[in-house]
Structure formats: C-alpha cells, structure tokens
Structure 1
Amino acid sequence: MTKPNRREEGGAPIRPAVWRPGVDGMDADEELEYDPSVYDCLHAWQLDWPCLSFDILRDELGDTRERFPHSLFAIAGTQADVATKNHLTMMRLTRLKKTRRVDKAAADMDDDSDASESDSDDEDGGIAPINGPIIQVQKVAHHGAVNRVRACPHRPSLVATWGETGVVQVWDLAPQLTKLSMLTADARDAQAAMNVQPQRSAPRHAFTGHADEGYAMDWSPTVDARLATGDNAGGIHVWEPREGGRWAVDKTAVFKGHESSVEDLQWSPAEAQVFASCGADGYVCVWDARNANAAPALRVKTHECDVNVMSWNRVANCMLATGADDGSLRIWDLRMFSPSDAKHVANFSFHRGPVTSVEWSRFDSAMLATASADHTVCVWDLAVERDAEEEAAAMAAEDNAMAPEDLPPQLMFVHQGLKDPKELHWHHQIPGLCLTTAADGFNAFKAYNVGPGC
C-alpha cells in the first residue's frame, strides 16, 4: 500500500510513500491506495463463512503455466458460527485474468504487449479491468470448525482435516473433484453452484486418539498417503497407509518432544523417514519416523517465543524457515543445526504481528512468502543483496514510491488490504501466483517482480 499523491502549499506534488503497518502513522485526510501497476493479477472473493485454512489441489492443466487467464482448484474448511454449519468447500476458479494497469504508451512499446492485449477483454486493446474470477464449488458437511486442511500431493482428492472437535479425518473427495472438472466455466452456473447445500459424506478414516485438538498436519511428499498430525497437548502421530484405503495409527505410539502445543510440522522433501515440528515452547524438533516414543533426533531452540509455522525448502532441502509470535522470520541451514550452536542464516523482523504462515516457492529456492497478523503478506528473495547504485536510480524516477531506508533488500513485495491473514500458499504449477485466506476472504495475486522474466 502507498499513500496517494498530495500537493505541497506551492502546488508541487509530494511523491507517494510506502506505508508500514504498526510503524507509520496517517493524517486524518490521508487514505491508503494500492498501486495497480505492481500486480500482474489481483483477485478477491469470499465464501459463505471465513476459512482458517485451505490448500491448493494439484491439477492436470499443466506445469509452469505462465499465460493468463489461469484456472485452479482448491479446498477450504470453514469457521461457521455454529458447529453444524461447517463444511469443506472444494473450489474451481476460472478466468483469473491479468489485471495489471500500466501506461498505454508503455504497453505499446512492450515486447509482450500482444500477449497482454490478447489476455484482456477490452475491445480497444487496453489492459483488462479488475474483475473477479468465476467460482464454482462443491461442499461436504464437516461437524465442527476446520482448524487445518491439507490435500495429499500424490492424490489431490484425498483430503485430511484437523477439527476443533479434536478428531482428524481423511476424506475421499474424488466425486466432488470430478464434478467440478466437468462443469462449464459459465458465470450463471457458478452463481447457482455457490448456493448448493453441503453433501453428507462419511470420511474414509477418523482418528480420535489425540489428547487435544490441533493444527499441525502434513502429508509426506515421498511416501504416498503417509500423514503426520500434531496436537495442542504436544503429541504427534504418524499415519501409515494400508491396503483398502485405510491407515494404521497407533494411539500408544506418540512422538513427544515439545513441552506445549505442536504448532506446525513438515516432512522432509527428500528423506522418507524424517519430519520436523515446531512448537509454542520455541523449539524445532527433527524426528525419525521409525522411532515413536523416543526422543527427537534433534531439539533446537530457535525463538524465544511461540514458533507458529515452518516450511521445509523443496528445492534446497537443507533450508528451513520458521515464523514466530514476535513477528520474526528466521532461516536455518540444517547442515549447521544443532542444540549447542544453532545459528540462523537470516533473521527478519519486518512484521509487527505474529507470523501466521510461511512457505517456500517451488520455482525458486531463494524465494518464500509470509503472512502476519499485522495484515500483511510479504514476498522475500534471499538471493537479493543491497545495491546502492540501483536504489539511487530507482529513487530518481519521479513516479516511484519512496521506500524507507531500513527495509531489508530481500523484501520484494508487501501485499496489504486484507484483514488478519491466516494462511498462504504458492501455486506449485503457476509460477509467482500466491493465494491467501483471511478473515475477510480470499486473495489471489501475482506481483509484477516475482516469477519468470523478473
């Protein structure tokens, strides 16, 4: 967000400035404006209830999709005002258009102007106006609010939910996914679909062995249908897939190394028997999945407060990111990760509220995104270093917003305008596209400086 242009007493315009929540104040006559030229696309939509968690489903539309308009599938779990009103919502979004607004003369000189114009619906060949995608849904009833939802990477229709009731359930949503895939992308059909009643469907498996409700959950990227779940009592269970679409979950086999709640966990991207967890005790634990009821292989103090979220880099497997309650984001090299001498590779304190989500990009080993209770979503590029000459040239341009000097150079983009963001995900088949859920609904955006060719 930037402060809009105002004029000094002599009539000269004041250059817009980047506004930071919790740091910069505002005068009574000032308003925040977003700059449409810095988003390749920006879309917002709402479901019937807020969603604390969602996940993106892998589809068969192709990898490394760059050309607009885009289509995608996602699954979300509601936080309704009454337990019996909750449901899982499987979404199909089409017509995610390019929304970037740039100067027409500049667009005509751009080598990619033909692609930009063909992606728009503007008959004059200009840039498409901002309008929403077509949303089609299928709903499945879920008793109690959904704390977290995750889709299996190997089988997207296989979905796991952590409920506020303390029960973890696995659902086979293949019929719903098939029906969505067969629908035509028609706005009238989409409006009718939004009003459908949730279907009653029995979960494929339900586990009631956790001592409390929880939020930590992750499917293994290396072993098909293997799941790990952690609860607020500090316990973790590993689900082993069995024939017939069932799982073996031993109530007595507990991975317990945190002194309080397990906030998040991640399987190793490369080692089938290794996963990591973070907790409200400020520790990160690394586990051998074959050794239940044993101490963690590593237990390292990473923050002096709750570690809310973590992400294991799927490209550079030695890198781990953690986000904490004090707003700090830390990067760790697991090759130098030990209880006696754990030194973070990087530490960023830009956020002015708890970090609620963090995720590495699948297309760039140095890029990740964070969401925070300070109402911001940030994109970071650890490969960027400060360049004084480049910064001076950028600031010399009259139309550039003034950036505070104390911003870290690795901070590539700050997305604002959403209320209390809870979770974010990169789309793993559309480079640079980021989706978020917040108290006021969903956003899908792609920053102009993120992705191929930037």
Structure 2
Amino acid sequence: MMKDSPKKEEGVSNPNSMSVEDRYTQWKSLVPVLYDWLANHNLVWPSQSCRWGSVIDHATYKNRHRLYLSEQTDGTVPNTLVIATCEVVKPRVAAAEHIAQFNEEARSPFVKKHKTILHPGEVNRIREFALNTNIVATHTDSPHVLIWDVESQPNRNAVLGAPVSRPDLVLTGHKDNAEFALAMCSTEPFVLSGGRDKLVVLWSIHDHIATLATEAGANVKQDSNSEKATESSSIGPRGIYRGHKDTVEDVQFCPSSAQEFCSVGDDSCLILWDVRVGSTPAVKVEKAHDGDLHCVDWSSHDINFILTGSADNTVHMFDRRKLNSRGVGSPVYKFEGHDAAVLCVQWCPDKSSVFGSCAEDGILNIWDTDKVGKTSDSADPTVSNTSPGLFFRHAGHRDKVVDFHWNASDPWTIVSVSDDCASTGGGGTLQIWRMLDLIYRPEEEVMAELDTLKSHIIGCDIDT
C-alpha cells in the first residue's frame, strides 16, 4: 500500500469532528477513488440483519448471490424475512463514474426480492447453515429460535392481516426473550443461542434437517389462513449453560470444533465453553471491557484469536492461550476508532489479520492487526493515524450500522445495513461494496503494478 503524501492529507477534515451530512458528502466524493464496486439500496423498512447466502450463478462480468435480510415494520404490515438476489460486479469491471452515480432514495437494480416470508415477530438475527444453504435460523422478540427452509417456504405478500408464515422448526429452551445472540455451527447441525435469561442454549437439529423440506411441502397444501406458527414441530435443547449474570448478547462456535463455543453479555464477561467438560464455563474473563459486550467473533484462520465489541466503543482481541480458568486475561490488542457502541465484529475470510467492525456512529471500520505499531499507510485519506491498525473507513451510512457480513465466495465484498429512521426519517440503507484492491494488496505488488502502468502511459505519450 502507498503511504499518503502530505498533499493528499490537505483539505481532508477529521471525520470524527464532522457532521453526519458533511462526512457523508465527503465520503461520496471519494467513492470513485476508494471503491471497486458499490451498490446502494434504499430500504422501505429498517433491517436488523443481513447475511450472504450461496452463489446462484457465475457470469462473465458479475456473479449472482443469495442475500438474506429482515424488514422491521411499524405494524401496519407484517415483519418479514426477505430472500433477495444480488448481482455483484467482478473486480476491475465497473467504471469509477458508474459506481459514483447512485441515488440515496432509490433502490438498486442489482438487488431484487426473490421471496418474502411473513415472520412471526421481529427479525433480529439471521444465521445461515453452512451444511445446507437452504436452511436459516432467525431470532425474534420471543424465547424461541425459528428454523426455516427458505427454498420450500411459499412466497408471501406482506399485507395487513395476512397470517404469518409457518417456521419449519421451533427451538425451545429459553425462559425469557432471546433476541440477538445466535450462531450456527459450520461443521455440525448445531444451533447456539443466548438471551435475557442469562442462559446459553445449544440444540442439535441433525434428525430434522432431512425432513424439513418434506414437511414444508406438505404444509403448503394446508389452509393458508390457519395459524401456522402454532403448528410447527419443536425440539428442546441438547444443553443449557449457566455462567452469565446478565443478558447474553452474542455467541459464536469455535470454527474447528462443535464442542467449543464462546459468549459475551451485558455483564462485561467473555466466556469460553467446552461441552466435554460440563455446563459451567471453561474460561471466564470477568471484565473483558469497560461496558456491555455486544458482539464476538472467533477467527477461522487462527482459532486462538477472538474479537469482542462493546458499548465502551472499542474492539478487543483476545488470545485464548493467555486466558485461564481464574478469569485472568487481558486483550492482546485494543482497537479504538469508533465514537459509539460497537454492534458487530467479524474476521475477514480472505486475510487472517483483517477484520471489520461496525457501530452506532454510522461507520464500518476495516482493521489489520499486522499494522498495529506501524505508521498508518492507508490509501483512505479519512483514516487517522491515532487508531493503530485501522486502514479503511466505510462512511456510506448516515446512521448506526447494525450489521454487516463478509462474502466468503466473493473476496473482499461486504454487505452492510443501517437503520436510518432517526436521521433521515426513512427506513434503512443496504450497501454492497468492495474497496479498491490497491488499498489492501501488499505494497510491493501495488508499486510494481503502478510502475507498469507508468511505463505504459509514458510509452503511449512517446508514440503520439
């Protein structure tokens, strides 16, 4: 990556001191030089969760992906789980002028609804099942986790008075509402949840996966006006884990083991669990942050590293080799680059040292742990030298960024969603974007490419 010259910094205001609109205006002016692809999609209703599904097909210049998102309505129409189709233009295909020309109030032609499921209650979390791409889990404003076969579910119209869709399976076991903490295992058909009852609950849906499509197909033939939500099959938990003293806000499986997982909560604790040693914490970090913990992610590249995000505006990185059962452990890194509570953290699937974090300040930051302790050399002029490890700031949202997800099938492509009701009076904003590869590629590669381009341009000038 190229180090910013002093000239490049001139005229660039400190993004932390700017108004939301000024910051957004500055960001929009930088879109042609910072992004390789950007699709801006205005939402009628706020969305609390967005997740990539499978790749539908590949074309010469773009790929089509499945995309899951929620619609949080005001009650005049049902809440919905939306299955969308998203076209992502391949790297170095879109012209800079094209991605810069979008209307904030319009819907993107690259995002289209494929199917709508009328959800019984709010959709607070969506998690996809790696072993069967048609199966997703949702958290709602109740104690239950809902399992859906999105392929066999009928497409519904969200109109007032319409009966809700019938989930294929209901997971019971919480004693109070479980709204946000939700995870699906990548290696086994396990589902993990946390809630206000301070519990972490584990289910196995192994015996039900094979029959979900058959049961859903039979139910489509039933009377569409029946109360389908009460007819769903349900199963109880495989295990219940006690150790938190307040609401459990997020959970995550260890990428390499279905027997290990972690959880964070409003008690400021990070807890590591191992079902092989019982239902009590294997390791408990009593004060992982100076505030409530909202999110956690476990690295699939190196299972020793765990990220946590907090209401104290920071992201912490823990090395589980440096934690012990006495609750002793300090983060190996603290990342400070947000001005409000961090709502989501996630490791990048394409580079082991990179992760993202989004927050109530409307910013989605991209960090590189390898850059901690080094002078900032970001190509993004809005990045400050005062936040070690930070090398890119996505400022395309004008209100709190509630969720984002890296695309594991399309390198460095991210979907992010913000709740814009408070600032714009609208619903929400969905953005699919990919930063310019000159920003994240190794500096020697970038310099070699620029030298090649320079030689080519000089040669063209001589010829003319």
The TM-score normalised by the length of structure 2 is 0.75
In the other structure, the counterpart of 1:358 is: 345
Please list, as runs of the form range in 1=range in 2, the aligned pairs for 1:46-445 lying within 5 A after superposition.
46-59=42-55, 61=57, 68-82=61-75, 85-94=78-87, 96-97=88-89, 116=92, 119-120=93-94, 130-131=101-102, 132-137=108-113, 138-175=115-152, 201-214=165-178, 215-223=180-188, 225-245=189-209, 249-250=235-236, 253-290=239-276, 294-301=279-286, 302-338=288-324, 339-385=326-372, 401=381, 404-408=384-388, 410-418=389-397, 419-439=399-419, 440-445=428-433
8 Å contact 1:57–1:75 — kept in the other structure?
Answer: yes
Equivalents in 2 of 1:291, 1:405: separation in Å? 45
Whose helix proportion is higher, 1 or 2? 2
Q: CA deviation at 1:406?
A: 2.0
Cα distance in 2 for partners of 1:378, 1:348 equals 10
Whole-Å Cα distance in 2 between the matches of residues 38 and 82 of structure 1?
Answer: 39
1:379-427 CA-to-partner distances (Å, cap 9, x unmatched) read 0011125555x85xx99xxxx847544232x111001131111011100
Which structure exhibits the higher relative contact order, with contacts defined as CA atoms closer than 8 Å and separated by 6 or more residues? 2
Give the C-alpha shift of residue 446 in structure 1: 1.1
1:199-256 Cα offsets, whole Å, 9 max, x none, are 9642111134312222111111111x21111111211211112424379854694211
Shift in Å, 1:139:
0.1
User: Are the structure 2 counterparts of residues 89 and 296 from structure 1 closer, same or farther at C-alpha, using a change threshold of 3 Å?
Assistant: same
User: Structure 2: which amino acid aligns with 1:229?
Assistant: S
Cα gap change, 1:251 to 1:83, in 2 (>3 Å): farther
State the superposition RMSD in angstroms.
Answer: 3.5
Partner of 2:223: none
Residue 252 and residue 68 in structure 1: after superposition, are their counterparts in 2 closer, same or farther (change >3 A)? Answer: closer
Q: In structure 2, how many angstroms separate the alpha carbons of the residues matched to 1:70 and 1:369?
A: 23
Which deviates the most, 418-427 or 168-177?
168-177
**1:103 corresponds to:** none
Could you tell which deviates more after superposition, 78-87 or 374-383?
78-87
Residues 109-166 of structure 1: CA distance to partner in whole angstroms, max 9, x if unpaired? xxxxxx84xx3489xxx86664534322210111211111111111111011111133
In 2: Cα distance, 1:407 partner to 1:257 partner: 34
Q: What residue number does 2:26 align with?
A: 32
| Contact 2:9 2:381 (C-alpha < 8 Å) held by counterparts | no
1:41 corresponding residue in structure 2 = 37
Task: Quickly say closer, same or farther: Cα 1:276–1:438, change in 2 above 3 A.
Answer: same
Mapped partners of 1:344, 1:387: distance in 2: 19
- Which secondary structure does the structure 1 equivalent of 2:284 belong to? strand
User: Aligned partners of 1:16, 1:160: CA distance in 2, in Å?
Assistant: 47
Partner SS, residue 49 of structure 2: strand
- Distance (whole Å) between structure 1 residues aligned to residue 95 and residue 350 of structure 2: 29
Question: How far, CA to CA, are the matches of 1:270 and 1:13 in structure 2?
Answer: 44
Q: Is the 8 A contact 2:172 2:234 kept in 1?
A: no
Q: How many residues align?
A: 393
| Matching residue of 2:440 | 450
How far off its partner does 1:68 sit? 4.8
Q: Would you say the 8 A contact 1:139–1:199 is kept in 2? A: no
**Structure 1-normalised TM-score?**
0.77
